[in-house]
Every structure is written in C-alpha cells, then in structure tokens.
Amino acid sequence: MQLSNGIKIPSIGFGTALANKEPAITSVKKAISLGYRLIDTAAAYNNEECVGTAIKECSIDRKDLLITSKLWNDDHGYDSTLKALELTLKKLDFDYLDIYLIHWPNPLKFRAEGYEKRNAESWKAMEELYAAKKIRAIGVSNFMPHHLDALLKTATVQPMINQIRMHPGHAQKETVAYCKERNILIEAYSPLGGTGGDLLTKPLIQELSKKYQVSVSQLCIRWCLQMGIVPLPKSVNPIRIEENFNVFGFEINEEDMNALANMPDDAKGLPHPDEARF
Ligand code: A2P
C-alpha cells in the first residue's frame, strides 16, 4: 500500500496500546521477528522508550521499519506540538519519526475554545516538521468528517492517514468513504473489537471463522485487509502475535464481507471523539 506522498506502508501493523515495560519490549521484538514492519505507539501509551529499545535490539534496519507515534491531547497547539515531537523522538531515541498523528480531534482540556484553532496550530507545526524531514508522513486519529473538514480549511498538506477504531460491528462507513474519496489511508485500531469487547464471541464471527477454517481474530483482521484498511492488532502474547499476522492464505467472499460490514454497530469502551472526557 502507498500513502498519498508515495511512502510505502505495510498492509498490516502492530498495535502496542496498554503494553508496557518488559512485555512491550518483548512483544515488539517478537512482532518484528515475525515480519511486522509497521509499529504503532503513542505518547499516551507510555511505552515509547520500550518501543525504541525493542527496535534497537532487533535485527532489522531502522530504515526498514515504519514507526508511528501520536500527539497527546494536552499538547495541542503550535509550540507544544514541536516540543511533544522532540520528547517523543528522545524517548524513542530516533532522529526522525516515520508517522506522526494527532491522537484525538477534540481534547477536553481545550474544548471550551473549540477544537478548530488548536488543530490548525498543531497541524502547522506538523507540516513544518514534515518539511524539515523530522517526520516522513503526517496524519490524524479518531477524526470524523467534520473534524477533517475544519482541518482542511487551513492545511497546506493533506493528512496522509486517519487511524480510527474499526472492526466488524463498527464499520465507520461515513468516515471511511470521506477518507477514501480524498486518498487518506485508513488504519484500524482495535480490529478485534478492543480489550474488554465481546466481538470475537459474536455468532456471525464464530460461524464465519468455522466456515473459512481460521481463528475469529484472523477473520476480523482479514476483513480489514479486504476493506483496503490497514489493521493494527495488538497483542503481548507471542502465539497471538503470530496468529494475527497469518492472514494472507484465505479470502472472505463478497457476501460475507457485506454481512460483517453490516453487523449492528457495537463499539464498547471508547467514547465519541466529541464527548471524550480526556
Ligand atoms: P493479549 O495482548 O493478551 O493478546 P485490539 O487489537 O482489537 O485492541 O484487541 C486487543 C485485545 O485482544 C487484547 O486484549 C489482546 O490481548 C487480545 N488479542 C490479541 N490477539 C488476539 C487473538 N488472536 N485472539 C484473542 N484475543 C486476542
């Protein structure tokens, strides 16, 4: 797959939310040894140092990996974005980052003043960091069409990625259509329904996993791939890390793809981006 600026991006990545300390280091190393080349972290995950350590200790060249991090909600604004990226690079111990995303569009801290101005300021800083080659690609996360509409009013560089929560039972059709029209690549976090969710036990998922003779997680990840979305499954378990990468030997037919896309919306755990209390 390719970003709008020509950068090649793997069709599947590795999520690290909620992974910390030793498990974060060992799981990232395991993922890289199995072939994952896109690793997703964030300032808010509190594991950037661990990801940096894993990358230093793995046997793959830094330039052959794509590392994503994200600007946290408290750091929106021009100066604070510049500082936040500097801190992220320091924690990762990198001199450049591959992908940097605004983590959430509408932080509680700045909500009273309206999200548009802060996002425009953060974006200006990110455009400058991109021009200075400190970041190879810039994007957003959890942005809905109205957040993107506002950002695009002042942006001179269009976001290359929008990372959203997406899985069967949360197909985010409007946001996906909006981004596809504008050549903004979608990444799916929580492709398995997220920690604490019950997606993997739903009858349709169970039934189709039997039909295709794959695990329930493989079915969900494959659905993202066939939607043209880059899934970012997270796991700290070596067997699951391998299972989640082994999704290239089967194909879901059109009827089943549609059935998965049309499951009743059920995204447990995370709030609407405009109502998040953080
Ligand atoms: P663990 O890290 O212990 O494997 P998502 O990527 O949708 O946010 O889901 C992450 C959650 O799903 C984590 O709790 C993770 O736990 C679990 N998980 C990851 N891979 C699998 C798998 N193959 N089968 C079942 N659960 C999984």
- Give all strands of the β-sheet with 135-141 in edge-to-edge order: 14-15, 38-40, 66-71, 97-102, 135-141, 161-165, 185-189, 230-232
Write down the residue that tokens 């793809």 correspond to. 257
Closest residue by Cα to atom 11, ligand 1, is: 195
pLDDT recorded at residue 248: 97
What size, in residues, is the chain?
278
**The one-letter amino acid at 272:** H
pLDDT digits 0-9 by tens, 169-205? 999 999 999 999 999 999 999 999 988 889 999 999 9
d(CA 29, CA 55): 7
pLDDT recorded at residue 94: 97
86 has pLDDT over 90: yes
pLDDT recorded at residue 138: 98
pLDDT bucket at 67, cuts 50 / 70 / 90: very high
pLDDT digits 0-9 by tens, 207-266? 999 999 999 999 999 999 999 999 999 999 999 999 999 999 999 999 999 999 999 998
Write down the residue that tokens 């003779």 correspond to. 213
Atom of ligand 1 minimally distant from the CA of 17: 8
Cβ proximity of 36 and 255 under 8 Å: no
Q: Which two tokens stand for residue 113?
A: 């003043």
Atom of ligand 1 minimally distant from the CA of 167: 7
pLDDT digits 0-9 by tens, 37-63? 999 999 999 999 999 999 999 999 999
Closest residue by Cα to atom 23, ligand 1, is: 240
Using DSSP, state whether 101 is helix, strand or coil: strand
Check 36, 45, 100, 189 and give the catalytic one: 45
151 has pLDDT over 90: yes
233 C-alpha to ligand 1 centroid (Å): 7
Cβ proximity of 193 and 217 under 8 Å: no
d(CA 28, CA 34): 10
Cβ proximity of 118 and 76 under 8 Å: yes
pLDDT recorded at residue 133: 98
Closest residue by Cα to atom 15, ligand 1, is: 235
262 C-alpha to ligand 1 centroid (Å): 22
Ligand 1 pocket, Cβ-based, cut-off 6 angstroms:
15, 190-195, 200, 217, 233-237, 240, 243-244
Q: Which of 238, 236, 141, 231 is nearest to 193 (CA)?
A: 231
Q: Is 36 a catalytic residue?
A: no
pLDDT recorded at residue 196: 80
77 C-alpha to ligand 1 centroid (Å): 34
Closest residue by Cα to atom 14, ligand 1, is: 195
pLDDT recorded at residue 270: 81
191 C-alpha to ligand 1 centroid (Å): 9
d(CA 230, CA 234): 13
195 C-alpha to ligand 1 centroid (Å): 7
Q: Kindly write down the DSSP assignment for every residue of 143-189, as one continuous string.
A: --HHHHHHHHHH-SS--SEEEEE-BTTB--HHHHHHHHHTTPEEEEE
Q: Which two tokens stand for residue 8?
A: 């090649």
268 has pLDDT over 90: no
pLDDT recorded at residue 202: 96
Sequence-ordered list of residues with C-beta below 8 angstroms from that of 108, at least 6 positions apart, any chain: 73, 276, 277, 278
Q: Which of 144, 146, 126, 145 is nearest to 136 (CA)?
A: 126
Helices (H), the chain: 21-34, 48-57, 78-92, 115-131, 145-154, 173-181, 203-212, 216-226, 238-245, 254-261
